Homo-oligomer: A and B are copies of this chain.
Amino acid sequence: MTIGSLQKSLADFAAEREWEQFHTPKNLAMALAGESGELLEIFQWLTPEESSAVMEDPVRAPQVREEMADVFAYLLRLADVLDLDLEQALVEKIETNHRKYPAHLARGRADKYTQLGG
């Protein structure tokens, strides 16, 4: 399914339940952050190595999948309510980051672009 058709499904779902009243941008941003927090909790005590193998864990794998679907749902819903083109926003962001983080300066460094010098 495309992003547009997923957004349509989510909008219909909300409309059928008269949930548009709850779906202000403010509330959706909260719901998005809340679901991101639940995703975080799955990973919080894992070592880096355990986190890399999380999809082989029969308990955690479906939890990760479900929390990521929840984050995605609220992100798409928020974009829809704001009439914001998420794919276009990301394309532009990637272009900006190509300028902010030149490969030869950023190589192997996790620093913010303001600290890259250059």
Contacts and interface: CB of A to CB of B under 8 A. Distances in A.
A93 B110 contact: no
Interface residues of A, number: 74
Given A68-B89, A79-B68, A33 B22 contact: no
Contacts of A38: 34, 37-38
Give the copy number: 4
Classify the interface of chain A: helix, strand, loop or mixed. helix
22 contacts: A18-B107, A18-B108, A24-B48, A26-B46, A27-B48, A29-B51, A30-B30, A30-B40, A31-B41, A33-B33, A33-B37, A33-B39, A34-B38, A35-B37, A36-B36, A37-B37, A37-B41, A38-B38, A40-B40, A66-B93, A72-B75, A72-B90
